[in-house]
Each structure stands twice: as structure tokens, then as C-alpha cells.
Amino acid sequence: MICSPVVLQPRSSTEPQCEWKSPKKKLISKPEDKGLKTIELAALGRPFSLGMLYDCRQDSLIPGLTLWDPDALEKHARERPQPNSEFEIVASESIEDKSSALNVDASLKASFLGGLVQVEGSAKYLNDSKISKNQARVTLKYKTTTKFQELSMNHLGRDNVKHQYVFDTGIATHVVTGILYGAQAFFVFDREVSEKEDHQEIEGNLKVMIQQIPCLAIEGEGSLQMKDTDISNVQNFSCKFHGDFNLQKNPVSIQDAIKVYQSLPTLLGANGEKAVPVKVWLMPLKSLDSAAAQLVRQISITLVMEAQSVLEDLSELEMRCNDAMKNSTTQQFPQIGKKLKAFRELCSEYKLEFQRTLARKLPSIRGGREEEGVLAEVLIKRHSSPFNSKNLSEWMSCKEREISILQSITNMMKNTKTVTSRHALHKKILSAEHAVCFAFTSLEDDEPYLSDLSKYLKETPESPQDITYQTYDVEKDQWFFSNEVLGARPPVLEAINVSGVPWPKTDAGLPVHFKFNNSALFADNTSINDKSGNADSDEDMDDDNFDEMFWNMGAKSMKNFFTALDRITTKSLQMTKEVLKERKQLETAIEELQQPLKCGFVTLQQLKMINQKHEEHKEMSVCSIARLKEIALRPNPLSTPEYIDLLIEGEKSEAKEGYLARIQSLEAMRERATIIS
């Protein structure tokens, strides 16, 4: 086996096109004549065979119908060997690079993105995406080819098509005229990366190790030459396998992957009989009969790339959501997790709707029923909707910033317990003599942006002109950009004065209130982000003074808060009237529950006894025939054939008139009895 690393490059637009020549008429494919070009297509694990019909409008196989009889297809098909093996390292997770690794062109990629193509075998690698940004991934691709099969002019001649009626059905646009057989395999290595680790360094170490796999020497059976440092670098990586090979056990570690990789060339059989189609050549039916259906136009690469960008952005958001939901701060504040979950579900619903739209529009455009502009309108509609990439990314960035702020605050409050619900809060308060609670009340506020996303999905307009949604200012609704957080006077103070609500006042006439300003966090983050390598010491001093000012302001507010708290008249919470009333209600409820509980326990005991009896009788069985033989007077009576044999012997011994006919009749009866018994 010859292994050589390969770097995939985009196919040149000047690549020569295939042409087909009829004995009677010469048809040459022109760049603008999309319907008469021979198409090269990646098989993607689909069961192609020579002579099979294919509909390029929907990128679907047409089983059952063919232009020739199976015998004629097999008789005149030509075959030649095409041995080749190669490997490649794929370090990118983009749809573009995955498609390139599988030689998927833009048109087929559009069908895959819209869900028109169901992939199998090694092509399932297209569906294998990372679920977290904190996930290091490197993929090893192995590809081998064995043979090439094609139809001959005995099939493709204009008068050699046997089933002409197929052209009139209009269900297919192309016929498979050539197949390249082989197999592909993708080893996907993953590892979770912590915040303290270097993501690129870990991927780089694994990439260097994987490049050595095809060349690792084997000493004896399963003994691999690997350095201890190599093993330590990759021991935490898991492995997933996507391939066209039938493995007894899929690899789960890099050691397993090395062993499987070494065995791949032997898994296709001695003569490559287990190879599968990896690439097919499709000839348009229009070249054989002008009445056949055809591919009117292909989707432009620009629109395909735009649709690909939409789906990649949504996948990126899903990964960011997953990472945020796994954050320890999100676990402490379930209100954030609830909003993140709702956001992820809305994005998933929009993604499915977008794919369904692609699945409807692509065949219609390719078949000529609609213009390509309808797909452009779908993409324009998305940009003017709440689901545009800018709004989605901004909302997610705000949530990530909110989590970071809460994490910084909770880290500063040492030995402080965080409760996740009001029930837990009430329980903690009642079990303590004195308690000081810091409540992040803004976390429970509704998110107008999420409401707009949900409303858009329920009331999707039919055309871009109907859209009334404007670019949404996501940041304006975040609590950490509110007046209170940024240091402005809370508007509620003026409202208290105007309404005349009884409230203790300060000497300045303002309602008593306390500011716990966390703007220092923003100032500190800004100073860190804005510093560059050549910043002078004067700027650093200004930042330190700014931080000190906010620290002193917060300390003063805290002191005033506890001073005011100490002046409040205390009230016992041990045995208030409300507590006694609630206790009496609970005692009454418990007494009412005792009788149903007793009845329930009796019923439960009865069910246990019934179940015990069932278990005792479950294994019992009665061998009826054996028991009958034991108690029968004649345990082994004669069978029917044996009884007929006695009658035949009696006839022979008596030899009465007509006994031969009777014997012949008895023998016929004996044969039937033998068969039945």
C-alpha cells in the first residue's frame, strides 16, 4: 500500500467537461448548457449501480426503473482496475472543508444542507459536528480506490435503449454511466480542553501524532512503536469512526484507531469485492431522448455559500449555548439556563424551518419552475428578521458577559452560599437567626428579544415586503447596562417622592437607598482589554486610581447599609400568628392524610403477596404427555403405522379372497399415516 498525504484544492473552473458523441448527431456540452453536461458526483454512501436513474433536481436515486435489462447491463459493462490509497489530515470543522474532504460539489452540498440527501457510511462525517467550543478535534481521512466500471456504446447508442417509455415518465434527469469503487474512512479524535490549556497546542500535538499513524511500524501482533511522550499527549483523546468498512468493533481510543487503520486495506476483500461506490458519472437523459426531463439550472455558488453561512452561524451559536449552559455560574442561577435553553430551541426551530425551505425551493429552481431569485429572497428575509446573525450573536455575547459578571461577583463574596430558588431561600432564612441576602432580581426579567424570536416563528411573513421587524438593540435590555448598575440615580427615587409613598428620607430629602455599584468590574475589564504592550505607567496609574474610587464607593455604601440595618426594630420570627396558623393547617392536613396512607399500605401489602404468588408459580410447568405415560395402563401403545402393519400381516396369514387388494389399500393408508405422524 502506498500512502501519500494529500491537500485538497478547489476544482478549477477551467476543468475540461465531458462530452458524449452519438453515432447520428454530435452533442457537445457548452458552459451555458447546464442540462447536457456529464456530471461527476460523490456517492456519499448511497447504493449506486450502473444504469440506475437519477434525478438531479432533488439529488435522489430512482430505484426500480432502468433503460436496459439487467443481463444487457452486465454483459456489455466495461471494468478496469484503479488502485490508489491516500490519507489526509483535516483540522477544520467548517462545512466547506468537510465537503471538500468528501469531494462534494456546491450543488450536492446545497441538497445536503437542505436535507434532500441522506448520507451513509463514511459520509456521516458530514453530520459529525462539535458540541462545544472547548473541544479540540483533529480528523484523519483514509481513502482507497479499487476499480472503475462504465457503460459502453452498446448501451448508450440511440437505438440500443430498450425501455423507451422511461423517458416519458419525467421522474429522472440522468443515468449512471460510470462508477469509481473504493472506500473511505474518517477517524475523528476529540478531547475536552479546559480554560487553562492551550487549545491550539493540544490540536497541534495530536496532528503531529496522527501524521505518523500511516507510517507506524508494527512489531509482532499488535505491538506498535510509540514513544511514551506521544502516548501521554493523546491518551485523553476519544475516537469516533465513520467509514465504508465493516468493523467488528469501532475504535474508541487512538491505540484502537492505529490498529484499525493498519487493517483497513485487508477489509475490502482479496479482489476488492467489498468496495462501495465513491464517485459516479451521470449522463443527462436529454442526450438520449429530447423528450426526457432535464436539469434546467444549477444553484449559483454565491447562494449556496450564503445558505452554508446561515447554518454554520446557527451551529456556532448552539456550541456557545452548550458551553454557557455547562458553566458553574449558570447552574447556580437557573434563570439564565432557562433563557439559554429557550434561545437554543428557538434557533433549532428556525434552522429546521430554513432547511425545509431549502428542500422545497432547490428542486423547483433546478427544474425551471421558479427562478433563482426566490432563494435570494429567502436569504434577504433572514437578514431583515430577528434571526439575523448580528442580533443572535449580540444576544449570546450579552449572556456570556452576564455570566462572567455574576461569576466575578460570587467569587468576591467568599463563604457565601448561592441558592437557586425562592423555596431554598425561604428555607435558609427561617433556619438562621440573622441573614443578609443579595438578590439578583433582574435575572428573572422577561427577554423581549426572545419574545420577538418566538413571534417571528409563529407569524413568518410570506414576502420580504411584509417584514416589520427592525434591527434589534439587544444590549439596551440587559440589566448590567441599567442606570442602577452604571451609577445613575435610580428613577424610582423620584417616583417615590412624587407619589407620596411613606418612606424614610435622608437629610437631602431623597428616599433612603443604597448603591452596590459593580461598574468597577466593567472598568477593570476595560482596562485589561485596552492595555497594549507599549502602554506607559501614567495610564496604569489612572486605571488604579479609577478602580480604587469604585472600591471606596462600594465599601462606603456597604457600611451605610449595615448601619441602617442595625437601626431597624427587630421582630421575632419564632412564633408569629401567621406561623401558628400555618402550623395548625399543616397538622390538620397531615391528620387527613393518615387514613388514605393506611389504606394505601394495606393495598401495597396485598399487591406484594399477589406478586409473591406469581413469582412462586412462574417457574412451574406440567409435562402432560410424560405424566400421562406414567399413569397409563399401556404406556407405549402402538402407533397408527404399526397397527396397520398388524392388519397387513393378518391378511397375509389368512389369504382370503381379495386379500391382495386389501393389502394394497392398507399399504397406501400406512404411507399417509407415516407422513402425518
User: From the CB of residue 3, how many other CB atoms can be counted at a distance below 10 Å?
Assistant: 14
- pLDDT for 569 equals 75
- Alpha helix (H) residue ranges in 619-639: 624-631
Residue 98 banded pLDDT, cuts 50, 70, 90:
very high
Grid coordinates belonging to 423: 423555596
pLDDT of residue 114 exceeding 80 = yes
Helix (H) or strand (E) holding 276: strand 276-284
Grid coordinates belonging to 533: 504592550
Residue 9 banded pLDDT, cuts 50, 70, 90:
very low
Domain-wise residue ranges, the chain: 23-295, 297-469, 514-566, 631-676
Radius of gyration of the chain (CA): 39
- pLDDT for 121 equals 94
DSSP letters, 196-217, are: TS-HHHHHHHHHHHHHTGGG--
Residues 6+ apart with CB under 8 A from 161: 67, 68, 155, 288, 289
- pLDDT for 414 equals 77
Euclidean distance between CA atoms 39 and 283, whole angstroms:
7
- Average pLDDT value for the chain: 79
Euclidean distance between CA atoms 559 and 58, whole angstroms:
72
3-class SS at 470?
A: coil
* Pair 372, 299: CB distance under 8 Å: yes
Residue 418's Cβ-count burial label (10 Å; 0-12, 13-18, 19+) is middle
Amino acid making up residue 65: L
pLDDT of residue 14 exceeding 50 = no
pLDDT of residue 598 exceeding 90 = no
- Dump pLDDT digits (tens) for 427-483: 888 887 887 788 787 788 888 899 999 999 987 554 444 444 444 555 555 655 565
Grid coordinates belonging to 368: 425551471
* Pair 151, 76: CB distance under 8 Å: yes
The residues facing 81 across adjacent strands are: 147
pTM of the complete model beyond 0.85: no
Residue 99 banded pLDDT, cuts 50, 70, 90:
very high
Residue 184 banded pLDDT, cuts 50, 70, 90:
very high
Residue 46 banded pLDDT, cuts 50, 70, 90:
very high
Euclidean distance between CA atoms 235 and 253, whole angstroms:
8
pLDDT of residue 110 exceeding 50 = yes
Residue 393's Cβ-count burial label (10 Å; 0-12, 13-18, 19+) is middle
The residues facing 317 across adjacent strands are: none
- Dump pLDDT digits (tens) for 480-534: 556 555 556 677 777 888 887 777 787 777 788 776 654 444 444 444 444 444 4
84-88, 168-172, 451-455: the lowest-pLDDT one: 168-172
Residue 44 banded pLDDT, cuts 50, 70, 90:
very high
- Dump pLDDT digits (tens) for 495-505: 888 887 777 78
What is the mean predicted confidence (pLDDT) over 536-543? Answer: 48
Q: Nearest 5°: phi and psi at 131?
A: -105, -5
Largest Cα span, the chain: 144
Share of the chain above pLDDT 70, in %: 77
Q: Give the sign of the dihedral formed by CA 573, CA 575, CA 578, CA 581.
A: positive
What is the mean predicted confidence (pLDDT) over 290-315? Answer: 90
Closest C-alpha among 359, 226, 369 to residue 295 = 369
- Alpha helix (H) residue ranges in 481-536: 483-486, 491-499, 519-530
pLDDT of residue 627 exceeding 70 = no
The residues facing 511 across adjacent strands are: 505
The residues facing 20 across adjacent strands are: 27
Euclidean distance between CA atoms 381 and 394, whole angstroms:
19
- pLDDT for 549 equals 62
**Pair type for strands 26-27 and 20-21:** antiparallel
Helix (H) or strand (E) holding 106: helix 106-113
3-class SS at 125?
A: helix
Helix (H) or strand (E) holding 675: helix 659-676
Grid coordinates belonging to 139: 480528523
* Pair 267, 245: CB distance under 8 Å: yes
